[in-house]
């Protein structure tokens, strides 16, 4: 369905600079054979810029915080104080989200969640020494599952907040949505970005720091350029990673809100059930972002899980 | 009623405001809703307040957007403006709404709540979609036009080149026959030869006029400050032969500068002057060029004492390959004046003509001031 990111870029913005930039970028990537062999310091610098990586706190264990669709690392800010004393915390923005380097957004690479999982593995290899706990919200839960199953030993444990391996209903499986719901989401995105023509989009994307200050403030969180927002939405909500759950063989905690209209309770239970070492915790708060709306309860659940195991 | 005396019934204003009001907690659970929004959604207060969340009033697609992006954004920055959602009424009907959200702290417990204004913007949304469609159409049309224009330019160049070559060959061969004495010289053959030469000449000038006509499509990026006096002098230089042959006199007054492309303007005035010489009366041609300013425009009048034309043809003469006279009377391709119009219009200007048959014509050229 999303075989070609290039085609999708054209579909989103047939005449936009994005498809042009995208073409140039993929060409540059193909033509630069040295791009894959930098030294560690350079690599860290590159990754910091690409994924807007921030490190804080101290401890033997690194807690890697990955945000979900539609957001950025700011989503974790109310959680961080609960862990900074005992953990080294690494938070980052996925490429295309927040203040990541949008130029690194390759529509082909990010046409599946594996592209993001590869980034996570890369980040952990560059910044962590093996003693890593990965916490992923929403789509990042599955990104973590993919990273873990492809790289055994990459994480010691995983925390999955509001995970869903498949948003679309499929036979007996209940994901909560139909394909037309996902189309509706894309339509809603279009309606909200319709003023963001090719003239405005680069500003919103964070390229121009001298942009109008009021707008700057308004879009300082959870930024996304329209073409990427649509692409990421499609990739997120049409992915099916049910088969990957079995491969992530490490202690994993599912934190589930009740009710959650994005990832319903049934789905959270399904995930915990399919993970070889899954544990299920339910928070009696509604919503999809407990780390933002119920940070204490969320932090407590994570603490309990980490202390129990270690 | 004087406005200072008017006391607002705030409760009534809240309930029946011309937009929906809604208050919810940070989890989206509805704490309050006004009558306007209840009637808009076809819901009752009992089935709504403390029962469902704001996002449950939305279509699934909008709910996904709200829960994954907008509500977290409000939690973090305390507000959002002009978010477009689709709302689903109790009867299943959906309608587009524009929503603003502000975070407030309640007095009693210091708890955080969100206040929402909800505006049904069905009509505006329709305009929006129409505009988007129109923009898309315009963009794709412009692209198609650009391609068609390039193709046409290409075609015209190739065609005119290919037409010119055999024409030159024919003319050359006839001249060769003449030189080698292969033609019988008598009154009849002289006349036929003359006709052949006149026709080949006409075809040549037609081809070159056509070629020039289609090249006037250039953009206005090469516009510069151009002196009209200089333009007229250069135009006259190109017609020196005809001026001398006809004994014409030109009275060119002090002319201001305009903004334009000089080569094209010279061509415009050359065409006008050449017409004045071509369509002359018995008397030697006398041409008067004058101008006046009108706002940011310069209007230049080129008046002659020629044959003039029937005023009812004042528009027709600018038509492409339109001619009032038959070819036998006066030579011409019918491209000259349409080229003039095209040049004037490519400058954001215009051209028109007035005439009294038998007394002369005046052409008014409007161009942007430099």
Nearest residue on chain B to A70, alpha-carbon basis? B69
pLDDT by residue (tens digit) across B57-111?
Answer: 999 999 999 999 899 989 888 999 989 999 999 999 999 999 999 999 877 788 8
User: Same domain, yes or no, for B238 and B367?
Assistant: yes
Give the minimum alpha-carbon distance from B33 to chain A in angstroms, rounded to a whole number: 20
Most A CBs within 10 Å, among B68, B102, B119, B124, to test the A interface: B68
Contact criterion met (CB < 8 Å) for A184 and B75: no
Question: Percentage helix, strand, coil, to 5, in chain B?
Answer: 50, 25, 25
How high is the pLDDT of residue A11?
Answer: 46
End-to-end CA distance of chain B: 57
pLDDT of A203 > 80? The answer is no
List phi, psi (to 5°) of A27. -65, -45
- B-chain residues near A70 (CB < 8 A): 65, 68-69, 72
Q: For all residues of chain A together, what is the average pLDDT?
A: 83
- Residues A155 and A60: beta-carbon distance below 8 Å: no
Query: Sorting pLDDT into bands at 50, 70 and 90, what band is A152?
Result: very high
Lowest-pLDDT choice from B2-11, B53-62, B133-142, B292-301: B2-11
Give the minimum alpha-carbon distance from A153 to chain B in angstroms, rounded to a whole number: 31
Most B CBs within 10 Å, among A10, A70, A167, A262, to test the B interface: A70
The predicted model gives A152-176 an average pLDDT of 96
B37 touches chain A (CB under 8 A): no
- B-chain residues near A75 (CB < 8 A): 72, 76
Query: Sorting pLDDT into bands at 50, 70 and 90, what band is B328?
Result: low
- A-chain residues near B142 (CB < 8 A): none
- A-chain residues near B125 (CB < 8 A): 191
B132 touches chain A (CB under 8 A): yes
How high is the pLDDT of residue A140?
Answer: 97
Give the minimum alpha-carbon distance from A221 to chain B in angstroms, rounded to a whole number: 7
Residues 6+ apart with CB under 8 A from B156: B210, B211, B214
User: Same domain, yes or no, for B70 and B131?
Assistant: no
User: Same domain, yes or no, for B358 and B324?
Assistant: yes
| Distance from the Cα of residue B191 to its chain's centroid | 50
Domain with B159, as residue range(s), is 123-217
- B-chain residues near A264 (CB < 8 A): none
User: Same domain, yes or no, for B128 and B115?
Assistant: no
B106 touches chain A (CB under 8 A): no
Return the structure tokens found at A251: 């202690």
Contact map slice: A 50-79 vs B, CB within 8 A: 68-71, 74-75, 77
pLDDT by residue (tens digit) across A228-244?
Answer: 888 999 999 999 999 99
C-alpha dist (Å) from residue B224 to A58, B175, B220, B261: 67, 45, 9, 6
- B-chain residues near A262 (CB < 8 A): 64, 67-68
According to DSSP, the β-strands at A252-257 and A157-161 are parallel
**Closest partner CB to A221 (pick from B61, B63, B73):** B73
User: Same domain, yes or no, for B267 and B339?
Assistant: yes
Query: Sorting pLDDT into bands at 50, 70 and 90, what band is A257?
Result: very high
A226 touches chain B (CB under 8 A): no
Most A CBs within 10 Å, among B51, B55, B72, to test the A interface: B72
pLDDT by residue (tens digit) across B138-168?
Answer: 988 998 998 888 888 788 777 777 888 888 8
Look at chain A and count its residues.
Answer: 310
Nearest residue on chain A to B86, alpha-carbon basis? A188
The radius of gyration of chain B's CA atoms, rounded to the nearest angstrom, is: 37
Q: What is the CATH number of the domain that holds B349?
A: 3.30.565.10
Give the minimum alpha-carbon distance from A39 to chain B in angstroms, rounded to a whole number: 37
Most B CBs within 10 Å, among A188, A189, A235, A294, to test the B interface: A188
Final residue of a structural domain among B217, B243, B262: B217
Return the structure tokens found at A97: 């989200």
Final residue of a structural domain among B87, B104, B120: B120
User: Same domain, yes or no, for B231 and B360?
Assistant: yes
How high is the pLDDT of residue B3?
Answer: 57
pLDDT by residue (tens digit) across B38-51?
Answer: 999 999 999 999 99
Say how many domains are in chain B: 3
According to DSSP, the β-strands at A132-137 and A62-66 are parallel
pLDDT of B329 > 70? The answer is no
The predicted model gives B292-300 an average pLDDT of 93
How high is the pLDDT of residue A202?
Answer: 36
Nearest residue on chain B to A185, alpha-carbon basis? B61
Strand partners, A54: A91
- Residues A282 and A268: beta-carbon distance below 8 Å: yes
Considering all CA atoms of chain A, what is the largest pairwise distance in Å, rounded to the nearest integer?
55
The span from the CA of B170 to the CA of A253, in Å, is: 92
Query: Sorting pLDDT into bands at 50, 70 and 90, what band is B205?
Result: confident
User: Same domain, yes or no, for B279 and B369?
Assistant: yes
Q: For all residues of chain B together, what is the average pLDDT?
A: 88
How high is the pLDDT of residue B219?
Answer: 52
- For chain B, give the percent of residues with pLDDT over 70: 95
How high is the pLDDT of residue A218?
Answer: 47
User: Same domain, yes or no, for B207 and B344?
Assistant: no
| Distance from the Cα of residue A175 to its chain's centroid | 19
Q: What is the CATH number of the domain that holds B19?
A: 3.30.450.20
How high is the pLDDT of residue A107?
Answer: 94
- For chain A, give the percent of residues with pLDDT over 70: 78
- Residues A155 and A148: beta-carbon distance below 8 Å: yes
The span from the CA of A194 to the CA of B129, in Å, is: 9
Nearest to B266 by CA among B299, B229, B303, B297: B229
- B-chain residues near A179 (CB < 8 A): none
Catalytic residue among A16, A97, A138, A239: A138
Catalytic residue among A137, A231, A288, A291: A288
Final residue of a structural domain among B83, B104, B120: B120
Query: Sorting pLDDT into bands at 50, 70 and 90, what band is A27?
Result: very low
Domains, chain A, ordered by start: 5-309 (3.40.50.1820)
- For chain A, give the percent of residues with pLDDT over 90: 66
pLDDT of A33 > 80? The answer is no
pLDDT of A19 > 70? The answer is no
User: Same domain, yes or no, for B165 and B268?
Assistant: no
A138 is catalytic: yes
Give the minimum alpha-carbon distance from A33 to chain B in angstroms, rounded to a whole number: 37
C-alpha dist (Å) from residue B12 to A54, A231, A301, B8, B116: 51, 45, 46, 8, 18
User: Same domain, yes or no, for B344 and B325?
Assistant: yes
User: Same domain, yes or no, for B176 and B95?
Assistant: no
* Strand ranges (E), A111-151: 132-137
pLDDT of B208 > 90? The answer is no
User: Same domain, yes or no, for B34 and B99?
Assistant: yes
- B-chain residues near A186 (CB < 8 A): 61
B29 touches chain A (CB under 8 A): yes
Label residue A243 exposed, middle or buried (CB < 10 Å: 0-12, 13-18, 19+).
Answer: exposed
pLDDT of A206 > 90? The answer is no
Give the minimum alpha-carbon distance from B214 to chain A in angstroms, rounded to a whole number: 28
The span from the CA of B347 to the CA of B341, in Å, is: 10
Q: How many residue pairs from chains A and B have C-beta atoms closer than 8 A?
A: 98
A112 is catalytic: no
- Residues A195 and A290: beta-carbon distance below 8 Å: no
DSSP sequence for A11-25: HH-TTSHHHHHHHHH
Lowest-pLDDT choice from A109-118, A143-152, A261-270, B231-240: B231-240
Long-range contacts, B271-275 (Cβ 8 Å, 24+) = B271/B336, B271/B337, B271/B339, B271/B340, B272/B302, B272/B340, B272/B363, B272/B365, B273/B232, B273/B235, B273/B236, B273/B239, B273/B302, B274/B239, B274/B242, B274/B336, B275/B304, B275/B306, B275/B336, B275/B337
The span from the CA of A269 to the CA of A202, in Å, is: 41
Q: What ipTM goes with this model?
A: 0.79
Lowest-pLDDT choice from A143-147, A192-196, A197-201, A281-285: A197-201
Nearest to A184 by CA among A230, A139, A221, A244: A230
Give the minimum alpha-carbon distance from A251 to chain B in angstroms, rounded to a whole number: 27
How high is the pLDDT of residue A3?
Answer: 42
């Amino acid at each position: 369905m999303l075989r070609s990111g290039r085609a999708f870029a054209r579909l989103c913005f047939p005449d936009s600079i994005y498809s042009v930039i995208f073409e140039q970028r993929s060409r540059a990537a193909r033509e630069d054979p040295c791009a894959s062999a930098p030294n560690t310091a350079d690599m860290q610098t590159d990754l910091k810029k690409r994924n807007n990586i921030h490190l804080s706190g101290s401890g033997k264990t690194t807690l890697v915080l990955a945000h979900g669709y539609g957001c950025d690392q700011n989503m974790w800010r109310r959680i961080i104080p609960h862990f900074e004393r005992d953990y080294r915390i690494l938070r980052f923005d996925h490429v295309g989200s927040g203040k990541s380097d949008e130029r690194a957004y390759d529509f082909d690479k990010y046409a599946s969640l594996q592209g993001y999982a590869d980034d996570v593995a890369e980040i952990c290899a560059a910044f962590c020494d093996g003693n890593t706990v990965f916490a992923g919200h929403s789509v990042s839960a599955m990104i973590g599952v993919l990273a873990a199953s492809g790289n055994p030993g990459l994480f010691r444990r995983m925390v999955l907040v509001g995970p869903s391996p498949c948003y679309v209903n499929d036979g007996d499986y209940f994901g909560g949505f139909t394909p037309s719901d996902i189309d509706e989401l894309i339509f809603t995105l279009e309606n909200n970005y319709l003023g963001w023509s090719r003239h405005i989009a680069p500003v919103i994307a964070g390229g121009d720091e001298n942009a109008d200050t009021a707008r700057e403030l308004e879009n300082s969180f959870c930024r996304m350029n329209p073409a990427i927002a649509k692409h990421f939405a499609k990739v997120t909500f049409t992915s099916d990673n049910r088969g990957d759950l079995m491969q992530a063989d490490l202690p994993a905690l599912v934190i589930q809100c009740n009710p959650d209209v994005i990832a319903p309770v049934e789905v959270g239970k399904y995930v915990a059930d399919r993970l070889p070492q899954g544990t299920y915790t339910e928070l009696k708060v509604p919503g999809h972002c407990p780390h933002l709306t119920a940070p204490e309860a969320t932090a407590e659940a994570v603490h309990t899980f980490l202390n129990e195991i270690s | 009623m004087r406005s200072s005396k008017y006391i607002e019934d705030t409760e009534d204003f809240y309930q029946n405001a011309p937009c929906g009001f809604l208050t919810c907690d940070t989890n989206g659970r509805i704490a309050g809703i006004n009558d306007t929004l209840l009637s808009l959604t076809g819901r009752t207060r009992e089935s709504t307040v403390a029962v469902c969340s704001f996002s449950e009033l939305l279509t699934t697609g909008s709910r996904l957007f709200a829960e994954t992006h907008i509500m977290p954004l409000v939690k973090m920055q305390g507000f959002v403006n002009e978010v477009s959602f689709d709302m689903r009424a109790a009867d299943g009907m959906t309608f587009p709404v524009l929503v603003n959200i502000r975070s407030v702290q309640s007095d009693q417990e210091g708890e955080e709540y969100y206040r929402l204004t909800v505006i049904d913007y069905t009509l505006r949304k329709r305009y929006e979609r129409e505009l988007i469609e129109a923009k898309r159409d315009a963009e794709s049309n412009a692209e198609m036009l650009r391609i068609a224009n390039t193709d046409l330019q290409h075609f015209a160049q190739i065609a005119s080149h290919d037409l010119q070559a055999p024409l030159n060959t024919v003319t050359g061969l006839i001249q060769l026959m003449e030189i080698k004495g292969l033609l019988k010289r008598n009154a009849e053959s002289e006349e036929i030869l003359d006709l052949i030469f006149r026709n080949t000449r006409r075809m040549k000038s037609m081809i070159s006029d056509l070629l020039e006509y289609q090249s006037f499509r250039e953009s206005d990026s090469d516009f510069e400050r151009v002196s009209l006096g200089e333009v007229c002098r250069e135009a006259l230089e190109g017609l020196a032969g005809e001026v001398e042959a006809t004994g014409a006199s030109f009275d060119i007054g002090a002319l201001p500068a305009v903004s334009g492309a000089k080569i094209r303007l010279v061509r415009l005035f050359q065409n006008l002057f050449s017409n004045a010489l071509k369509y002359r009366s018995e008397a030697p041609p006398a041409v008067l060029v004058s101008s006046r300013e009108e706002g940011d425009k310069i209007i230049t009048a080129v008046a002659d004492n020629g044959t003039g034309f029937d005023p009812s043809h004042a528009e027709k003469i600018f038509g492409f390959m339109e001619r009032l006279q038959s070819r036998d009377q006066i030579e011409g391709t019918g491209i000259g004046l349409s080229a003039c119009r095209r040049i004037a219009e490519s400058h954001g200007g215009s051209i028109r003509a007035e005439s009294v048959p038998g007394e002369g014509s005046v052409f008014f050229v409007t161009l942007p001031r430099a």
